[in-house]
Structure 1
């Protein structure tokens, strides 16, 4: 998702570690994965989560993101993380401009004929959906703290423009899946949904500064986005959808006591980007995907 302009803050703080993170889980007693490729946006790459890789630094790839944890847990022979902050479906086949390094190559270029596992987490940046919401909604709370000013902002003539944009994302994801199957016909493809940002009830404006009425709307938007991904998978007929929205209940940005999987409004270049997964969130998502990968 679109946090590329914020990545300039981490140049002096970047920590270099090997490409794969140490996982708590031992390798599974299953057939060895020979080549695993991770594709996706910042909810896959993990900007600001220590330690950040530099291949390229502008993509915000963490050695503790869920693909890295998954690769370790599965005992993968060869792992390529092509995910990049700010990516949308077009960056699967086109280069992506990123800070410091010029461009990130088309992500599908990491696929090989012998690739046997692919995870894909994409769609939130298409048509500016995520960037528009987090860039607009917090600023509207002050004028109408108990209302739904963000929902109203994105509604034109009774039409929710965000949901319309999400619907237009479905054929884009279908096209990406078709391209993956063409390049890696023997690969198992897991499409990873987006985890919950807002709680199903209650509010925490100090952490998630949306108007009270917009919490429910944000949940609806996320559910629409995840349904779009699921619909694309159904139309594809070969990939598998992995739900993280349901399993992340109780781990939203408002969760207390270290239970949160998602960071709130406060940017922390040593922890996580605002409104993005924390290290604990990446571990939680990895556990969900691991169950499906088994």
Structure 2
């Protein structure tokens, strides 16, 4: 929490007291204190970094003006609202749909005009940083929800997506190790730019169920459901390991979302059909964003 507003208020009080003493005015002439007014709330600077699972496209109200499809009801906004009971929260939400780890340090070009790097929002006054990113690196998420769905029609009972992925490279070994390395460097840069901030690395939720499926919502070949879950788990494990390697607090959304996958009765992530006022396909639902906000707030309280 920035000390500058508090210090400024204290100095202002000292100067006012000095002026009254020097002027020798009658205390009876001083205006009566307002009993309803209290001390100003300290300012709390919160920066949210991430991709579409932080931006939450489709959840009202979604801002499409800059191409990021950022919702005003995503988990950073919910966290800021709750913290607003105790602080004057200054939220800088830089999350952006389609962002990968390169979007942290380089310009983002998802809209009509390039957006500044997400890390540019950080400085020494930053109090809290949440980071959740990496799923879009090397097109992993796109292959999972795009390529795997399209391949399912060719071999519904087989594993065409796993087979194709192995031909292109190992999504569960080499690619994931590279993503983890990028995340470690990103967290280190966050700490360099915001040395006094509390940094929380936020994982991804479960998309595919541990057993069974739901072709109407998650249209994958039966043999690809375990593969999809493995890839999903590897993406969140990258974040967990990067947090551990940098001594950073990890918010375990994977564990908390058990029983809330796309096929569940109470899902945190939408299936292939867009829900009006809810979310775009294969992206977080309002219930999921509220759940993640609760996890983040619990980590902040700790």
Whether the TM-score (by the shorter chain) exceeds 0.5 is: yes
1:240 and 2:249 are equivalent in the alignment: yes
**Secondary structure in structure 1 of the residue aligned to 2:256:** coil
Residue 21 of structure 1 is matched in structure 2 by none
1:59/1:104 contact within 8 Å kept? no
1:90 and 2:99 are equivalent in the alignment: no
1:146 and 2:153 are equivalent in the alignment: no
1:128 and 2:135 are equivalent in the alignment: no
Residue 118 of structure 1 is matched in structure 2 by 129
**Secondary structure in structure 1 of the residue aligned to 2:63:** coil
2:223 alignment partner, one of 192, 206, 213: 213
Q: Deviation above 6 Å: which 4+ runs of structure 1?
A: none
**Shift of the alpha carbon at 1:102?**
1.1
CA distance in 1, matches of 2:45, 2:186: 19
CA distance in 2, matches of 1:32, 1:198: 42
**Shift of the alpha carbon at 1:274?**
1.1
**Shift of the alpha carbon at 1:254?**
0.7
Residue 273 of structure 1 is matched in structure 2 by 280
**Shift of the alpha carbon at 1:286?**
1.2
- In structure 2, the CA distance between the partners of 1:204 and 1:175, relative to structure 1 (3 Å rule), is same
Residue 292 of structure 2 is matched in structure 1 by 285
Residue 77 of structure 2 is matched in structure 1 by 68
1:154/1:162 contact within 8 Å kept? no
CA distance in 1, matches of 2:260, 2:99: 25
**Shift of the alpha carbon at 1:161?**
3.3
Alpha-carbon RMSD: 1.8
- In structure 2, the CA distance between the partners of 1:187 and 1:33, relative to structure 1 (3 Å rule), is farther
**Shift of the alpha carbon at 1:154?**
0.5
Residue 235 of structure 2 is matched in structure 1 by 225
2:46/2:92 contact within 8 Å kept? yes
Cα deviations across residues 175-200 of structure 1 (Å, max 9, x unaligned)? 11111111110001001000000111
Higher gyration radius (CA): 2
**Shift of the alpha carbon at 1:213?**
1.8
2:120 alignment partner, one of 90, 102, 109: 109
2:53/2:204 contact within 8 Å kept? yes
Moved more, 283-292 or 106-115: 283-292
Residues paired across the two proteins, number: 258
**Shift of the alpha carbon at 1:270?**
3.8
- In structure 2, the CA distance between the partners of 1:291 and 1:33, relative to structure 1 (3 Å rule), is farther
**Shift of the alpha carbon at 1:268?**
4.7
1:37 alignment partner, one of 18, 43, 47: 47
Question: TM-score, length-normalised on structure 2?
Answer: 0.81
**Shift of the alpha carbon at 1:53?**
2.9
Question: TM-score, length-normalised on structure 1?
Answer: 0.83
Q: Which runs of 5+ in 1 are unaligned?
A: 1-30
CA distance in 2, matches of 1:166, 1:129: 9
CA distance in 1, matches of 2:220, 2:174: 21
CA distance in 2, matches of 1:98, 1:251: 30
**Secondary structure in structure 2 of the residue aligned to 1:218:** helix
CA distance in 2, matches of 1:228, 1:33: 33
**Secondary structure in structure 1 of the residue aligned to 2:49:** strand
